[in-house]
Amino acid sequence: MSTAGQTVTFARWEGDATSTSNRTSVLMDGPKTLRATWVVAVDGYAGSYLAYVVAGIAIALALALVVVVLWIRHRGRQDEKRG
């Protein structure tokens, strides 16, 4: 959806019903408050773009840690064979 020259994407429902689906049901058995939250797209990506970047960095760091641990173990085994 575009508004005022910006592209926005539906993010979630908040209030008496919570959901990330663009459709939700609300039982109207009394006064309710429901708010639709929209995020501004950044360069064609929704606001979750930053979350993907952070997740990618976290995965890269985790893989680097695994490589370092495996390298240290391998080196320790080589030292045991020599010693």
Structural domain boundaries in the chain: 1-47, 48-83
**pLDDT for the residue 44:** 55
The mean per-residue pLDDT over the stretch 27-40 comes to: 92
Q: What confidence category does residue 47 fall into, taking pLDDT thresholds of 50, 70 and 90?
A: low
Q: Model's pTM, two decimal places?
A: 0.44
Q: Residue 40 corresponds to which amino acid? A: V
**pLDDT for the residue 45:** 56
What is the chain's Cα-based Rg?
24
Residue 41 in contact with residue 3, Cβ under 8 Å? no
| Three-point CA angle 34, 35, 37, nearest 5° | 150
Give the range among 21-25, 33-37, 79-83 with minimum mean pLDDT. 79-83
Q: Residue 13 belongs to what H/E stretch?
A: strand 6-15
**pLDDT for the residue 50:** 74
